[in-house]
Structure 1
Amino acid sequence: MKKLNIYFTAGIPMLNDTGKVAQLVQESGADMMEIGIPYSDPVADGPIIQQAHDLALKNGMTIKILFEQLAEIKDTVTIPKVLMGYLNPVIQFGFEKFCQKCKEVGIYGLILPDLPPVEFEKKYGEILKKYNLNFIFLVTPETSNERILYLDSLSSGFLYAVSSSSTTGNESSNLTNEDYLNRLSQLPLKNSVYVGFGIKNKNDFELVTEKSQGGIIGTAFVNVLLQNTDWEQKVKQYITSIKG
């Protein structure tokens, strides 16, 4: 069974909608979710997710508020929840304090794309282990086999395979980069591979999961939240259209 992982930014469309979105993602059949921590300079993200970050920050979203919201859904939203963000706000909050709060509210793992693997090994890996948190690294088509194996050895939960070296939601994301997906499928990886960036519909999802264990949808889903006043209904329809 191929896994569907849905990303959305915390604190949109309105500040207190995070829990409601998470509940709908679970009810609609997704296997996992990534909840984005809004940040003022999300360099790896395209315009739609940048717009979501801006809106969430305008709505007043903070890490403290996010943990309060996550505590409220801890017992009802039981599919794995991953927090995705940038290192700077986490360090400002306090890395160990952040990990401790993650454990308290039932977080499965973290994705911090700008955390260097060397720093992870020297400093942060032990803290994550202490609080039983997975950490997911990203690889791209340009990542060498040797480095993919290295990042896989540090990762737990899954390995995030970026479909192309671009920002999220890029229309030119090459989902059918067969050489890359073949290469990943032939390496002796310890983690499942989830492909992300550019997946928009059922066809895309089926395409990337022919040679991987899961697909991650972010920009297309965030767009549903941003563009529709009746987003609750649209969210269900959208996820069901991919999983159905």
Structure 2
Amino acid sequence: MNRIEKLFKKSEEKLMPFFTAGYPKINSLIGLAILAKKVGCHMIEIGVPFSDPQADGPIIQRSSEVALRNGISINLIFEQIKEIRSKTEIPISLFSYINPIMNFGVDKFLDRCSQVGIDGVILPDLPYDEAELFCSKSRALGISPILLVAPNTSNKRIEEISIMADNLIYAVSILGITGNKLTRKDELKSYLKRVKKHSKAPFIVGFGISNRKDVIWFNKYSDGAVVGSAIIQNMIKNNNSLKETEHYLNDLLGK
């Protein structure tokens, strides 16, 4: 049982911050990850910067552009996660588009994930029909493949995706790119209840969550909330102050 499986055995509110590797400075991820654990976050999601991010809104795109200019690479991300893992047991998931992984080599990528202590991998652009081999290879190494469902995903497909993923799925709360304003809560509630009914695995919700009220609401109807664009936005607003990021994470946690 990996750290993600253990985490979702617990029935408690869960907050998962998203950080772009290599942003704002090339080595910032290490301090941000340790901070997330210190304040009480439950899992961290680490974004692998990519030059053509289809699911990312302008805020995360901007952070990825900065990270790429800083010289971040998959190899360096692995080294940073290795250092993070030496200091904390917080569950870590990697959010990456398929292209950088294909360029790196899928088997090599998964081997490195296993070696440095990554618990899950989220691939937003991996089609379900092509996911089975990746999922089986991931699970064989003790890594949770975290597949996405969306409001237009059928009930049958939600069940199929959850069975293939096994440990955890990621429910996109809006159609489109990250950072968009949330759709009407009644529509979201209906969608999340549908996911809960048909998923055989726990599920987290991401895209568009930005405040304590959102975190509480989404934890009521799912197994955890991911906050991404709003964290990057807060960092930009406060000149990337680690102290202000700590305050914001505490606010999200209700502290």
Q: TM-score range by the shorter chain?
A: over 0.9
- Provide the C-alpha distance between the structure 2 equivalents of 1:230 and 1:50, rounded to a whole number of angstroms: 16
Matched, 1:129 2:139: yes
TM-score (norm: length of structure 2): 0.91
2:206 corresponds to which of 177, 196, 217 = 196
In the alignment, what sits opposite 1:80? 91
Matched, 1:215 2:225: yes
Q: Which piece of structure 1 moves more, 110-119 or 143-152?
A: 110-119
Q: CA deviation at 1:174?
A: 4.2
Please give the residue correspondences for 1:1-244 in structure 2 after superposition, counting only pairs within 5 Å: 1-121=12-132, 123-176=133-186, 177-187=188-198, 189-229=199-239, 231-244=241-254
1:2-48 Cα deviation digits (max 9, x unpaired):
11111110001100111011111111111001000000000101000
- Provide the C-alpha distance between the structure 2 equivalents of 1:175 and 1:114, rounded to a whole number of angstroms: 26
1:53 is paired with a residue of what secondary structure?
A: helix
Q: CA deviation at 1:137?
A: 0.8
Supply the AA of the counterpart residue of 1:216. Answer: V
Q: CA deviation at 1:178?
A: 1.8
Q: Which piece of structure 1 moves more, 216-225 or 41-50?
A: 216-225
CA RMSD of aligned residues (A): 1.4
TM-score (norm: length of structure 1): 0.95
- Provide the C-alpha distance between the structure 2 equivalents of 1:172 and 1:190, rounded to a whole number of angstroms: 25
Residues 225, 235 of structure 1: 8 Å contact kept: yes
- Provide the C-alpha distance between the structure 1 equivalents of 2:102 and 2:32, rounded to a whole number of angstroms: 27
2:220 is paired with a residue of what secondary structure?
A: coil
Query: Structure 2: where are the runs of 5+ without partners?
Result: 1-11
Q: CA deviation at 1:225?
A: 2.5
Supply the AA of the counterpart residue of 2:143. Answer: L
- Provide the C-alpha distance between the structure 2 equivalents of 1:171 and 1:52, rounded to a whole number of angstroms: 19
Query: Structure 1: where are the runs of 5+ without partners?
Result: none
- Provide the C-alpha distance between the structure 1 equivalents of 2:229 and 2:173, rounded to a whole number of angstroms: 14
Large movers: runs of 4+ above 6 Å = none
